[in-house]
């Protein structure tokens, strides 16, 4: 028996040299080992145990990356397609709007080019997540447009406006409302569509953040020791062909991934959020229709200003798409990943890692016919009964990620749609609160604690 073990140790030595593992050829006492302790003689050393722990950390990351690959590939691909589509659409809509001035309002076409460019730049930044609003972008455009309409169309005799007079016209635009209801209609129509696009872009990036964080989540000392015991300790006895029992593997993996599995509830909600946002974009909030409609809305606004030209002059003087098929395929795939984090331990224990078609398997101590210990379920609470390792608590990094995902899901399903019809959004000076003002109610969202409160006395709040 000792001769066979000697031959096995020689084989291990050559293998570890090949994989750059340090190896000391000896038969250490049981007290020398911290993990692979066994009654019989062993080929392993304490130094090898440390090398094994390094190996399981690397393998754990690689295995989770392999599981994540297709999901990550789908999300990254959809982000790229989405951004290319909306950027192309914005460029087309900008050119479409510019052509209005070049064909119908040539007198102001050159000067209107810059405000049009700024408008679509602001809309692009909004979709990409900048801290701005559609309302600010649109109203800023109409503020810049009014001096041009006033001096080139309503009073074409004015050759040059002074900077002071131009600024005066800009400041009085919202008071005298030269464009009637049309400026607000642009805000309303764009807000609904661009809100869905903005949130979808954020949702896709949130998905990548979740995947990246879980791939590189820290491995606890207890977990790395349990993985070494499960995967490498049999090698110390020359048992290279034996595999862990299925139940044993599930206990180890569920313990190691207890924090990650806690993402399950919010991940399921996240998938519903993706589906909701996609439906919003494909339905009445179609981005293409809204952006291409800017041209007609601006034209109607200018015509309204011209029609009321004399009255405005007197007042001024006094005031002085990703393709549908790809989207369906993407959402269909994402819906299938709804249980991704609830079943990650099971998938890691699938395949070649465990022994399924054999009468014997490794239970962490010896070769047995079956694993007899209790197999715990997924989740942090269930690990209190895990016989293979102790789970101390939720990983702080994963805890923060769960809170962030919860906050995002809450924001999407919030009763008031940011920038939507009949609502306005304000950020408190200390940036801790977001106020959503509806026609009847004020909603206060605490960004730090993800809580929502409402105040039905809207007028009292506005006076405050």
The CA–CA distances, whole Å, from 58 to 33, 217, 221, 425, 449 equal 22, 12, 14, 46, 35
Tens-digit pLDDT profile for residues 184-198: 888 988 988 899 899
With helix as H, strand as E and coil as C, how does 219-235 read? Answer: CCHHHHHHHHHHHCHHH
Return the exposure string of 76-108: e unless at least 16 CB atoms fall within 10 Å of the residue's CB, then b. Answer: eebbebbbebbeebbeebbeebbebbeeebeeb
The CA–CA distances, whole Å, from 390 to 79, 116, 173, 387, 394 equal 39, 61, 67, 8, 12
Q: Report the distance separating Cα 411 and Cα 321, nearest Å.
A: 23
Given this model, what pLDDT does residue 401 score? 95
The CA–CA distances, whole Å, from 335 to 211, 269, 338, 354 equal 16, 11, 5, 28
Q: Long-range contacts made by residues 443-448, C-beta under 8 angstroms, separation at least 24?
A: 443/414, 443/415, 443/416, 445/411, 445/414, 447/407
Q: Which two three-digit tokens encode residue 325?
A: 């098929």
Given this model, what pLDDT does residue 242 score? 87
pLDDT at 16 over 60: no
Q: Report the distance separating Cα 237 and Cα 361, nearest Å.
A: 14
- Of residues 452 and 295, more confidence is placed in 295
β-bridge partners, 424: 437
Confidence band for 436, pLDDT divided at 50, 70 and 90: low
Tens-digit pLDDT profile for residues 303-341: 888 887 666 555 554 544 555 667 888 899 999 999 999
Cα-Cα end-to-end distance for the chain: 87
Which residue has tokens 């805000």? 187
pLDDT at 153 over 50: yes
Tens-digit pLDDT profile for residues 50-80: 999 999 999 999 999 999 999 999 999 999 9
User: Quick one: which H or E segment has residue 110?
Assistant: helix 109-127
Q: Which two three-digit tokens encode residue 272?
A: 């519903």
Tens-digit pLDDT profile for residues 195-229: 989 999 999 999 999 999 999 888 899 999 999 99
Closest CA to 57 of 217, 212, 240: 217
DSSP string, 233-248: GGGGGT--S--B-HHH
Tens-digit pLDDT profile for residues 114-130: 999 999 999 999 999 99
Which residue has tokens 């339905």? 283
Given this model, what pLDDT does residue 387 score? 95
Tens-digit pLDDT profile for residues 257-277: 999 999 999 999 999 999 998
Given this model, what pLDDT does residue 459 score? 46
Q: Report the distance separating Cα 428 and Cα 100, nearest Å.
A: 39
pLDDT at 48 over 60: yes
> CB neighbours of 167 closer than 8 A, spacing ≥ 6?
none
Beta strands 442-446; 433-437: pairing state: antiparallel
Given this model, what pLDDT does residue 435 score? 52
The CA R_g of the chain, rounded to the nearest whole Å, is 32
Which of 327-331, 341-345, 373-377, 451-455 has the lowest average pLDDT?
A: 451-455
Q: Which two three-digit tokens encode residue 89?
A: 């659409």
Given this model, what pLDDT does residue 311 score? 61
pLDDT at 8 over 50: no
pTM greater than the 0.85 cutoff: no
């Amino acid at each position: 028996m000792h001769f066979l073990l000697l031959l096995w140790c020689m084989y291990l030595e050559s293998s570890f040299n090949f994989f750059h593992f340090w190896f000391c050829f000896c038969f250490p006492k049981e007290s020398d080992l911290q993990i692979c302790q066994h009654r019989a003689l062993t080929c392993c050393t304490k130094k090898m145990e440390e090398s094994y722990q390094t190996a399981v950390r690397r393998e754990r990351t690689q295995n989770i990356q392999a599981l994540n690959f297709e999901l990550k590939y789908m999300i990254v691909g959809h982000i790229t397609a989405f951004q290319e589509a909306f950027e192309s659409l914005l460029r087309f809509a900008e050119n479409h709007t510019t052509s209005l001035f070049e064909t119908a309002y040539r007198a102001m076409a050159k000067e209107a080019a810059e405000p049009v460019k700024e408008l679509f730049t602001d809309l692009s930044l909004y979709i990409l997540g900048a801290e701005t609003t559609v309302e600010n972008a649109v109203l800023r455009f109409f503020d810049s447009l009014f001096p041009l309409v006033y001096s080139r169309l309503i009073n074409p005799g004015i050759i040059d406006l002074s900077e002071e007079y131009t600024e005066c016209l800009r400041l009085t635009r919202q008071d005298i409302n030269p464009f009637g209801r049309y400026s607000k209609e642009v805000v309303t129509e764009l807000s609904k569509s661009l809100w869905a696009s903005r949130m979808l872009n954020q949702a896709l990036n949130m998905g990548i953040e979740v995947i990246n964080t879980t791939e590189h989540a820290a491995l606890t000392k207890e977990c790395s020791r349990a993985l070494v015991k499960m995967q490498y300790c049999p090698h110390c006895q020359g048992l290279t062909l034996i595999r862990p029992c299925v139940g044993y593997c599930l206990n180890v993996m569920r313990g190691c991934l207890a924090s990650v599995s806690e993402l399950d509830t919010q991940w399921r909600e996240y998938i519903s959020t993706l589906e909701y946002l996609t439906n919003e974009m494909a339905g009445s909030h179609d981005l293409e229709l809204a952006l291409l409609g800017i041209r007609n809305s601006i034209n109607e606004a200018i015509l309204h200003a011209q029609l009321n030209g004399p009255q405005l002059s007197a007042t001024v003087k006094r005031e002085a798409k990703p393709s549908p098929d790809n989207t369906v395929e993407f959402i269909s795939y994402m819906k299938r990943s709804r249980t991704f984090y609830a079943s990650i331990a099971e998938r890691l224990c699938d395949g070649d890692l465990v022994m399924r078609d054999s009468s014997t398997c490794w239970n962490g101590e010896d070769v047995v016919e079956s694993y007899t210990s209790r197999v715990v379920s997924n989740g942090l609470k269930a690990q209190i009964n895990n016989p293979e390792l102790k789970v101390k608590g939720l990983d702080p990094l994963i805890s923060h990620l769960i809170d962030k995902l919860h906050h995002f899901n809450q924001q999407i399903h919030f009763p008031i749609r940011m920038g939507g019809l009949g609502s306005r959004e304000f950020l408190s000076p200390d940036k801790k609160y977001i106020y959503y003002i509806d026609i009847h109610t004020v909603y206060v969202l605490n960004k730090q604690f993800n809580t929502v409160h409402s105040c039905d006395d809207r007028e009292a709040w506005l006076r405050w």
